Amino acid sequence: MGDTIMSATAGISATAIEEVESFMSGLRKRNPGEGEFHQAVEEVARTLMPFMLENPKYIDAMILERMTEPDRVVIFRVSWQDDAGNVRVNRGYRIQCNNAIGPYKGGLRFHPSVNLSILKFLAFEQTLKNSLTTLPMGGAKGGANFNPKGKSDREIMRFCQSFMTELVRYIGKDLDVPAGDIGVGEREIGFMFGHYLRIAREFTGAMTGKGLAFGGSLIRKEATGFGCCYFVEEMLNRTGDGIKGKVCLVSGSGNVAQHTIEKINHLGGKAVTASDSDGFIHDPDGIRDEKLQFLMDLKNVKRGRIADYAEKYKCAYVAGQRPWGVKADLAFPCATQNEINEAEARTLLKNGLKGVGEGANMPSEEAATDAFLAAKILYAPSKAANAGGVAVSGLEQTQNAQRLHWSREEVDTKLQAIMKDIHATCVKYGAEGDWVNYVKGANLGGFVRVADAMLAYGVV
Ligand code: NDP
């Protein structure tokens, strides 16, 4: 047994450790080469096992084995033509993980790294995350190994239409409702939803993250970043503190990062970094007002690189690195999975880090998570911290079903209430004396609802 597992399981019984090992060795055998999927499941299994040993009904019914075997995995070819007339081929996926508590729900990712392992980890996490919101949503994820970078709008459109030509068979307002993720924003949702309408011949909310003109919800594009900040603010408030006055590191510069920075500013904090896959910028004066608007235009309209921000505002740009070496109070990883390793986590802690809000999904490597937990800082894992995005997607579905459109204030108030509830659930299941283990709280809180529904259904 490696050092990582030893430290991660500190404080749980030898029986629980053995059970986790035996469960994980079966899972690894059944899903060879799927590192990200193993990592996500193992973290959950480690926190759930002591609870399941105390409540053997979940073990007897093999709930965890069933929850980690997706309901179905669809893989399909996506052929399209680039502007030069060349034929191009990509691989499309939809992982429908679990629909015990509602129709499948989860984003679509377009990125060259997309593979089965990454989408299975995301679909599994999504199942627990959606349960935490208390809205009726099952878990799914999908996407393609397609790289939108450098493609023209016409190429993106042709790809999205070809992708939807196949995906349409598997989605629907009461069946499976996809949304955006990395590489899939309002432009891509527009192209896909438009093509869905042509084929399905009915106007229903079969996708979320839609434009406001065709059934989208106000606050949806801000929801993941705003929700992440609301959650961190809740954690800090519980200890008599707040984001106000805190220096914050943000990674990424896409949808989640932009609105995390926006809300940090609203709450009186100072976001000093942003990044993309080429490097990061450090602006000690804070990315605010006109500078934030510049960043948004740069990434959403011009589709440029983060280095352009440093050039415009004469601040530091560090190529090929992530921002975790900068001294700060709070860290908001908002780019991608496994973007904080153990050494970086230790540097952050050495520099006086008080808390982490994971806007991205599983941004901390296992050993980094262990370091944060061992240091007993305020550590908000992704399935709790970034649940605001899917929560407002759920609210978009409700508005579509009612053929109503709620105001910005109404949606934002509901989002804040949902994040507060998720925080309370984490405290309920994760309190350890004065400190809260939010990883345990989120895993248990998300698991119980799905597991109880599965128990009620018998062997299905
Ligand atoms: P975007 O595509 O809008 O932005 C992604 C950002 O992350 C870009 O700055 C991108 O840089 C950077 N990035 C992506 N992949 C890598 C990589 N391998 N290494 C370094 N940087 C990378 O995506 P979102 O903001 O929507 O998503 C970000 C994270 O948040 C993801 O983990 C996603 O799953 C999660 N999330 C998103 C939700 C949403 O509502 N959109 C909801 C919940 C979670 P570059 O442009 O150079 O690629």
pLDDT of 9: 56
264 with 160, same domain: the answer is no
185 with 331, same domain: the answer is no
pLDDT of 12: 81
Please check whether residue 393 lies inside any domain of the structure. Answer: no
Q: Which of 35, 67, 99 is the endpoint of a domain?
A: 67
Distance 29 CA to ligand 1 centre (A): 30
The domain in which residue 147 lies consists of: 72-203
CATH classification of the domain holding 169: 3.40.50.10860
Per-residue pLDDT of the chain (460 residues; tens, 9 = 90+): 333 443 455 568 999 999 999 999 999 999 999 999 999 999 999 999 999 999 999 999 999 999 999 999 999 999 999 999 999 999 999 999 999 999 999 999 999 999 999 999 999 999 999 999 999 999 999 999 999 999 999 999 999 999 999 999 999 999 999 999 999 999 999 999 999 999 999 999 999 999 999 999 999 999 999 999 999 999 999 999 999 999 999 999 999 999 999 999 999 999 999 999 999 999 999 999 999 999 999 999 999 999 999 999 999 999 999 999 999 999 999 999 999 999 999 999 999 999 999 999 999 999 999 999 999 999 999 999 999 999 999 999 999 999 999 999 999 999 999 999 999 999 999 999 999 999 999 999 999 999 999 999 999 9
Instruction: Check if 334 has its Cβ closer than 6 Å to any atom of ligand 1.
Output: yes
238 with 272, same domain: the answer is yes
Integer distance in angstroms from the first to the last C-alpha of the chain? Answer: 34
Please check whether residue 209 lies inside any domain of the structure. Answer: no
Please check whether residue 146 lies inside any domain of the structure. Answer: yes
228 with 376, same domain: the answer is yes
Please check whether residue 339 lies inside any domain of the structure. Answer: yes
Please check whether residue 386 lies inside any domain of the structure. Answer: no
Residue keyed to tokens 């929560």: 391
318 with 295, same domain: the answer is yes
Nearest-CA residue for ligand 1 atom 4 is 254
Instruction: Check if 394 has its Cβ closer than 6 Å to any atom of ligand 1.
Output: no
440 counts as catalytic: no
Q: Which of 67, 82, 97 is the endpoint of a domain?
A: 67
Q: Which of 67, 82, 106 is the endpoint of a domain?
A: 67
Could you report the per-residue pLDDT of 380-425, keeping only the tens digit for each? Answer: 999 999 999 999 999 999 999 999 999 999 999 999 999 999 999 9
99 with 48, same domain: the answer is no
299 with 198, same domain: the answer is no
pLDDT of 4: 40
CATH classification of the domain holding 325: 3.40.50.720
Please check whether residue 16 lies inside any domain of the structure. Answer: yes
267 with 368, same domain: the answer is yes
| Atom of ligand 1 minimally distant from the CA of 253 | 9
312-315: list long-range contacts, CB under 8 Å, 24+ apart: 313/283, 315/281, 315/282, 315/283, 315/284, 315/285
Please check whether residue 55 lies inside any domain of the structure. Answer: yes
Instruction: Check if 178 has its Cβ closer than 6 Å to any atom of ligand 1.
Output: no
pLDDT of 10: 58
Instruction: Check if 68 has its Cβ closer than 6 Å to any atom of ligand 1.
Output: no
Give me the amino acid identity at 220: R
Instruction: Check if 336 has its Cβ closer than 6 Å to any atom of ligand 1.
Output: yes
| Token representation of residue 81 | 């033509």
> Which of 120, 129, 141, 440 is flagged as catalytic?
141
161 with 85, same domain: the answer is yes
pLDDT of 5: 40
Please check whether residue 128 lies inside any domain of the structure. Answer: yes
Could you report the per-residue pLDDT of 248-303, keeping only the tens digit for each? Answer: 999 999 999 999 999 999 999 999 999 999 999 999 999 999 999 999 999 999 99
Q: Which of 378, 364, 416, 449 is nearest to 132 (CA)?
A: 449
Nearest-CA residue for ligand 1 atom 29 is 360
Q: Which of 275, 272, 323 is nearest to 299 (CA)?
A: 275
- What SS3 state is found at 325? helix
Instruction: Check if 182 has its Cβ closer than 6 Å to any atom of ligand 1.
Output: yes
Residue of 121, 151, 182, 217 to mutate, ligand 1, most atoms within 8 A of C-beta: 182
Instruction: Check if 357 has its Cβ closer than 6 Å to any atom of ligand 1.
Output: no
Distance 455 CA to ligand 1 centre (A): 35
Q: What is the domain count for the chain?
A: 3
pLDDT of 262: 98
Cα 171 to Cα 246: distance, rounded to the nearest angstrom: 43
pLDDT of 359: 98
161 with 266, same domain: the answer is no
Residue of 125, 230, 256 to mutate, ligand 1, most atoms within 8 A of C-beta: 256
91 with 47, same domain: the answer is no
Distance 409 CA to ligand 1 centre (A): 26
325 with 310, same domain: the answer is yes
The C-alpha angle 312, 150, 318, rounded to 5 degrees, equals 40
Instruction: Check if 143 has its Cβ closer than 6 Å to any atom of ligand 1.
Output: no
The structure's pTM equals 0.96
